[in-house]
Amino acid sequence: MSQRDRVSAAAWLVVRNAHTAEDIFQNVALKAMTKGVQFESVGALMSWAFITARREGIDWLRRQKNAPICLDNTILELLEQEWAGEAAAGDIRGQALRDCLEDLPSKSRDLLKRRYFDGHACEAVAEQLGARLDAIYKRLSRLHQALKKCIETKLEQPAG
Amino acid sequence: MTLSEEQNELLLRHLNGQLGPDEEAKVADLLRGNAGARAFLRAVAEQAVVVADVERINQHKPQPVKVVTPVFRPWKWAVAAAAAFVLMAAFVIATTPPRHAAKVSAILGPCQYIAADGKVRDEVKVGTVLRVGDTIRTRSSSAWVKLDLNGGSLMTIAGRSRLRLLNVDGRRGFQLAYGNLWATVAQSAGARPVSIQTPTATVETKVAQFDVETHSMTSIVRVNSGTANVVRLADGQAVDVVADHQAVVSARRSRPFAVARQPEPVNAWNCSMLAGQGAVFGKILPPTAEGRSRLGAIPLLIGKKTTIYVANFSVQCSGSPPVLIEGGSRVRIRGTTRTDSPVYFGITTQRIKGGFFGKYSAEIGAGALGQAGEPWQIEVPLSKFKPKTENVPDLPIGMELTDIWVFSPEESAELEIHRVEFLPREVGQ
């Protein structure tokens, strides 16, 4: 997972909208550039980026009507720490995920697209696809697990 | 900790924003106490942003014309790419320790490049960039390499020399294991001082033109402009060597360590075999029955399957003042060879109180050496020496003599040198 993907993912956990998460990442990057902040290590920079992204996300939520309930700050911090502590081979993981997505059947990709790119709630997706809501959750759950496993398998394969 | 499918779905429902307060509390407890739950949630978040990213890219691929709702604006993608670049650059700046590099700007003769990872290349090309940990060595008396250190700073190593780039805090670090080095360290914005470590000394400077000749027991540092701080490793004593001064740094504490003014140049020199100090490469042999001291040429591997047999004599190491090369100067060498094969004489030259100038050599045919096994004495006028490269004058008149070398390509020649002299022009010339 690249640093960009991780910061965007952390923002997504707060706002649950991929486009807003991308906007937040851009703002964080812009702040890093314009404020001229210097960091002694990757850890320090990542820590600052996660906190800034979280604050931006919470600010964005406050401006929304019917915003989802945000996770407790302590949980978000825990998740961010785990992200920051992951191995540096993040870019390889990001590419592996992209490769795994390409290998998915078109129906599965369509489901993910509707949910995460189009930003539809699961109820709307169920309605669009003429499926029951429970079935959508099950399919999404299995898809996420399958992608996670696919990444791990790809990372275990020797580079060639 | 593995999660049940129900727990996975609970987390997905939470992300869908449809849970009531009781179920949200359950989610919070699950995430606090279960690393597997957190890993799943992070995986979903990563997959969500990457799915969106991939779809954005797909929407900008050429597609058959159709009306679509423009969800993503091109300018936004450009900004995203720029922002990603900026953040990645910030990471690189934050994590990459400041290191220096040197680019090969000119080269002559056999050289070897040993990368920090241990890879060896016997052919070095102009443009090769040396980084911290990399080593370059010039393998024969006639070889040299010029390095560009950026910011107007230059370095040359020549003869049999070995230079490695070191990681020294706040410095552009080098290790000169042996050989000759000439350096011009220019003042430029943001440039760090240069630090050169030899077996006996550390030389540091911010701005200076200087040269270093080093062997296992001695280093000689001459500063022609600027100032260099020189530390004797044997006892940690430090001196500042200013322009037109020099310091001799021995591995022995008992030897004097002081800054002295560079002596005025002379126009003649001879290398006493008995004193031995000027003979920097070769094997001291027992004196002959007539009491003549001798230096035997020793093998020097200069490339794959190529060995020459060399004896080398350094002006500085002999303790002599600088030797000025004049029109009409001559090199006179006495020695023996056991076969009818040619020998080669060479000289290294540098600018008076300046940097490296060039190498010149002359072939002495077997006919001039007389009968094999019998002592010969050959006097070669300066005009018979040829430059090793095209971009230097035919004759190094007005330059300083750095060293003289003699070699034979044949082991069976058993080349021995009995005396080496550099003579002034003859009176009346």
- State how far the Cα of B307 lies from the Cα of B320, in Å rounded to an integer: 31
What number of CA atoms fall less than 13 Å from residue A107's CA on the CB side?
5
- pLDDT of A37 above 80: no
Q: Is the ipTM of this complex over 0.85?
A: yes
**What pLDDT, on the 0 to 100 scale, is given for residue B72?**
53
**What pLDDT, on the 0 to 100 scale, is given for residue B17?**
85
What integer best gives the mean pLDDT of chain A? 84
Does the distance separating the beta carbons of A117 and B51 come in below 8 Å? yes
Q: Does A159 touch chain B (CB under 8 A)?
A: no
Out of A54-63, A105-114, B405-414, which region has the weakest mean confidence (pLDDT)?
A: A54-63
Q: CATH fold of B269-423, please?
A: Jelly Rolls (2.60.120)
**What pLDDT, on the 0 to 100 scale, is given for residue B68?**
46
In words, the CATH class of domain A3-84 is: mainly alpha
Nearest-CA distance from A117 to chain B in Å?
A: 5
Q: Kindly give, in sequence order, each residue whose CB lies less than 8 Å from that of residue A59, ignoring residues fewer than 6 positions away.
A: none
**What pLDDT, on the 0 to 100 scale, is given for residue B97?**
45
Cα nearest neighbour of A15 on chain B: B15
Does the distance separating the beta carbons of B72 and A13 come in below 8 Å? no
Does the distance separating the beta carbons of B83 and A25 come in below 8 Å? yes
Where do the structural domains in chain B lie, given as residue ranges? 5-95, 101-261, 269-423
**What pLDDT, on the 0 to 100 scale, is given for residue B304?**
78
> What are the chain A neighbours of B80 within 8 Å (beta carbons)?
22, 25-26
3-state secondary structure of B184: strand
Does the distance separating the beta carbons of A8 and B49 come in below 8 Å? yes
Does the distance separating the beta carbons of A45 and B91 come in below 8 Å? yes
Q: Which of B38, B52, B79 sits opposite A116 (nearest CB)?
A: B52
Architecture (CATH level 2) of domain B101-261: Sandwich (2.60)
- State how far the Cα of A4 lies from the Cα of B83, in Å rounded to an integer: 9
Residue B387 main-chain phi, psi, to 5 deg? -65, 145
Closest of B398, B348, B397, B386 to residue B181, by C-alpha: B348
**What pLDDT, on the 0 to 100 scale, is given for residue B276?**
55
Task: State the distance between the two ends of chain A, measured CA to CA, in whole angstroms.
Answer: 20
**What pLDDT, on the 0 to 100 scale, is given for residue A36?**
60
Residue B58 main-chain phi, psi, to 5 deg? -60, -35
Nearest-CA distance from B75 to chain A in Å?
A: 12
3-state secondary structure of B349: strand
Cα nearest neighbour of A23 on chain B: B80
Total Cβ atoms within 10 A of residue B1: 10
**What pLDDT, on the 0 to 100 scale, is given for residue B122?**
86
**What pLDDT, on the 0 to 100 scale, is given for residue A91?**
65
In words, the CATH class of domain A90-156 is: mainly alpha
| pLDDT tens profile B74-132 | 666 666 666 666 666 555 555 544 468 899 999 998 999 999 888 899 888 899 999 99
Cα nearest neighbour of A125 on chain B: B16
Q: Kindly give, in sequence order, each residue whose CB lies less than 8 Å from that of residue B309, ignoring residues fewer than 6 positions away.
A: B297, B298, B299, B300, B407, B408, B409, B410, B411, B413, B415
pTM: 0.55
For chain B, list residues with pLDDT below 70. Answer: 1, 59-99, 272-276, 428-429
Where do the structural domains in chain A lie, given as residue ranges? 3-84, 90-156
**What pLDDT, on the 0 to 100 scale, is given for residue B278?**
83
> Fold identical between B101-261 and B269-423?
yes
**What pLDDT, on the 0 to 100 scale, is given for residue B226?**
93
> What are the chain B neighbours of A75 within 8 Å (beta carbons)?
28, 31-32, 38
